[in-house]
């Protein structure tokens, strides 16, 4: 038996009239009669009996109709629901947020004011095969001049109009690289599948720490300090641990936390030092926290925003472009 046979039977059971049911179903009466007879043969029992010139359900037919009615209704509900689900799915963007979570959430809030129909599902620190956009970080992959040279102190005054975008030597069809001072990544188009935003990493100390200076300082200078760090497994933590290894020491962990604001408060209390990305963790209270630039080349991180599917939905593409522009502005502020 198939679904069409069951629907035909249910329609005839409701009217107990073959001609009327055929007209309602839009099928020829002989075809409907044959379908009912095939179903009776498959079930091995009569479903209708003649009552004069009309037909009526047999006890077996009534029993069978009562059992299949909720099944057919469920199929109809599922069909209607699937169309609604499909429309909702087209407007759903799934995010795997492993870095710059504060900025990403701010971007979601700003985007929702303009696109209230867009739905977001968020994950953190998971291998999320169903995610549409992943935000993570990595160590810089090049000793480009902007990372190799001694940098000015954090958040130093820069003319608003002087910010520019610089493209990496990679195919534009897959990646757009933007330096941290980028204001308007205008080249984020439908061909771009990932964007890389770079920002420097500093060592945060209390203002009275001996190394609290605006001059670049060697990372090894902090080898004897206790480090207030993010928890192991965090991508930013891995970058910082690897940097300490290259500097010839393993950081002595004073405390670990998943919350950058807790890290900031503990450093401000003089309980240790910690690594601090220049922009993505938000503004710091300079009266309580000092950011010391490091002399090592390439001491920075890339924030990578990538769409994970080869053929992303329009809603994913639209939010990706918005997110890249929003993060670029946030990393430059």
Element (H, E) at 194: strand 194-205
CATH number at residue 43: 1.10.10.10
pLDDT band at 129; cut points 50, 70, 90: low
Question: Same domain, yes or no, for 70 and 103?
Answer: no
Q: What are the phi and psi torsion angles at 285 (to 5°)?
A: -85, 100
- pLDDT (tens digit per residue) in 192-251: 788 888 888 899 999 889 988 889 999 999 999 999 998 887 888 888 898 899 899 999
Which of the residue ranges 24-33, 107-116, 126-135, 243-252 would you say has the lowest mean pLDDT?
126-135
Does 65 share its domain with 98? no
Same domain, 270 and 149: yes
For residues 231 and 256, the answer to whether their CB atoms sit within 8 Å is yes
Residue 188 in this model has a pLDDT that exceeds 70:
no
- Of 74, 89, 104, the residue that ends a domain is 89
Domain shared by 57 and 130, yes or no: no
Burial pattern 239-278, b for ≥16 Cβ within 10 A else e, equals bbbebbeebeeebeebeebeebeebbbbbbeeebbbbbbb
Q: Do both 246 and 186 map to the same domain?
A: yes
Please tell me the least confidently modeled range out of 19-28, 168-177, 305-314: 168-177
| Mean pLDDT, rounded, for 261-271 | 86
> Do 66 and 106 belong to one domain?
no
Among the candidates 61, 89, 117, a domain finishes at 89
**Number of domain units in the chain:** 2
Angle at 115 between CA 176 and CA 184, to 5 degrees: 30
Q: Please give the model's pTM, rounded to 2 decimal places.
A: 0.63
pLDDT confidence tier of residue 278, bands split at 50, 70 and 90? confident
Residues 308, 311, 313, 319: is their CA dihedral positive or negative?
Answer: positive
Phi, psi (5° rounding) for residue 138? Answer: -150, 165
Residue 231 structure tokens = 């928890």
181 pLDDT higher than 60: no
Q: Are residues 70 and 154 located together in one domain of the fold?
A: no
Q: Which of 115-119, 151-155, 164-168 has the lowest mean pLDDT?
A: 164-168
Last residue within a domain, chosen from 89, 117, 152: 89
**15-45: pLDDT as tens digits:** 999 999 999 999 999 999 999 999 999 999 9
CA 154 from chain centre, in angstroms, equals: 30
Instruction: Mark whether 229 and 156 lie in a shared domain.
Output: yes
Pair 145, 39 in one domain: no
Q: Say how far apart CA 205 and CA 23 lie, in whole Å.
A: 83
Answer yes or no: do 317 and 260 share one domain: yes
Residue of 127, 104, 97, 98 whose CA lies nearest to 237:
98
What is the CATH classification number for the domain harbouring 122?
3.40.190.290
Classify the phi-psi angles of 139: left when phi > 0, otherwise alpha if psi is within -120 to 50, otherwise beta. Answer: beta
Q: How confident is the model at residue 177 (pLDDT cuts 50, 70, 90)?
A: low
Domain ranges, residue 56: 3-89
Residues 17 and 105 in one domain: no
Given this model, what pLDDT does residue 251 score?
92
- How much of the chain, in percent, has pLDDT values that exceed 90? 41
Report the pLDDT value the prediction gives residue 125, as an integer from 0 to 100.
Answer: 59
User: Do residue 77 and residue 106 come from a single domain?
Assistant: no
DSSP code for 7:
H
Q: What is the SS3 assignment for 321?
A: helix
Mean local confidence (pLDDT), 72-83: 86
């Amino acid at each position: 038996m198939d679904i069409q046979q069951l629907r035909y039977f249910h329609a005839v059971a409701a009217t107990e009239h073959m001609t009327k049911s055929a007209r309602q179903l839009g099928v020829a009466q002989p075809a409907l009669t044959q379908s009912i007879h095939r179903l009776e043969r498959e079930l091995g029992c009569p479903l209708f009996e003649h009552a004069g010139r009309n037909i009526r359900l047999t006890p077996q037919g009534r029993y069978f109709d009562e059992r299949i009615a909720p099944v057919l209704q469920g199929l109809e509900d599922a069909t209607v629901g699937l169309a609604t689900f499909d429309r909702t799915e087209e407007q759903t963007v799934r995010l795997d947020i492993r870095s710059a979570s504060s900025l990403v959430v701010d971007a979601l809030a700003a985007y929702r004011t303009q696109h209230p129909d867009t739905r977001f599902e968020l994950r953190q620190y998971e291998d999320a095969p169903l995610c549409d956009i992943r935000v993570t970080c990595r160590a810089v992959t090049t000793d480009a001049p902007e990372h190799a040279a001694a940098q000015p102190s954090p958040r130093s005054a820069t003319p608003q109009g002087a910010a520019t975008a610089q493209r990496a030597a990679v195919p534009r069809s897959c990646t757009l690289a933007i330096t941290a001072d980028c204001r308007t990544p205008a080249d984020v188009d439908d061909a771009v599948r990932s964007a890389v935003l770079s920002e420097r990493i500093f060592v945060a100390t209390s203002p009275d720490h001996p190394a609290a200076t605006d001059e670049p300082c060697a990372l090894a200078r902090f080898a004897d300090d206790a480090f207030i760090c993010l928890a192991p497994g965090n991508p930013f933590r891995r970058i910082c641990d690897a940097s300490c290894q290259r500097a010839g020491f393993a950081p002595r962990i004073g405390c670990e936390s998943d919350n950058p604001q807790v890290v900031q408060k503990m450093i401000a209390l003089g309980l240790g030092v910690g690594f601090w990305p220049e922009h993505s963790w938000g503004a710091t209270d300079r009266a309580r926290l000092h950011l010391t630039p490091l002399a090592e080349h390439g001491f920075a991180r890339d924030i990578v925003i990538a769409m994970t599917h080869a053929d992303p939905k329009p809603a994913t593409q639209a939010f990706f472009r918005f997110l890249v522009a929003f993060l670029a502005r946030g990393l430059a502020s």
